[in-house]
Amino acid sequence: MRGLHLLRRRRALLNCAPISQDHLADRSMRAAVAREDGSDEFVNQQNFDRAVAELIRLVPIPPESAEWFLEKQAVRRPKWTWRRIVLNPAVLAVSIALVVIAGVFALQVVGRLNDFPGSATARKLLVLAGSARSVTLDPVTAEAGTLSDLFFMKHGLEHYDVPDEFTEFRTIGCRVFDDDESQRIAQIWVAEKRMQFFLFPAERDSKTGAVLAFPGWRYVHQEGWVGAVSEHNGVCFMAALKGREKDLEPYLSKAKE
As measured in angstroms, the least distance from the Cβ of 94 to another protein is: 25
Q: Which helix (H) or strand (E) holds 221?
A: strand 218-222
Give Cα separations from 3 to 10, 16, 29, 94, 112 (angstroms).
Answer: 10, 20, 17, 30, 51
Binding of residue 25 to another protein (CB under 8 A):
yes
**CB-nearer residue toward another protein: 49 or 192:** 49
Q: How many helices (H) and strands (E) does the chain have?
A: 9, 7
User: Max alpha carbon distance in the chain (Å)?
Assistant: 112
- Residue from 38, 60, 89, 250 touching another protein (CB under 8 A): that is 60
Angle at 180 between CA 174 and CA 186, to 5 degrees: 20
Among 5, 73, 113, 178, binds another protein (CB under 8 A): 73
Quote the CA–CA distance of 19 and 25 in Å, as a whole number: 12
Interface map 142-181 toward another protein (x if CB under 8 A): ----------------------------------------
Count CB neighbours of 137 within 10 A.
17
74 binds another protein (CB under 8 A): yes
Contact pick of 44, 136, 146, 183 for another protein (by CB under 8 A): 44
Nearer to another protein, 68 or 82 (CB): 68
The C-alpha atoms of residue 162 and residue 236 are separated, in whole angstroms, by: 10
Residue among 24 and 213 whose Cβ is closer to another protein: 24
Residues that bind another protein (CB under 8 A): 8-9, 11-13, 15-16, 18-20, 23-26, 29, 40-41, 43-45, 47-62, 64-65, 68, 73-76
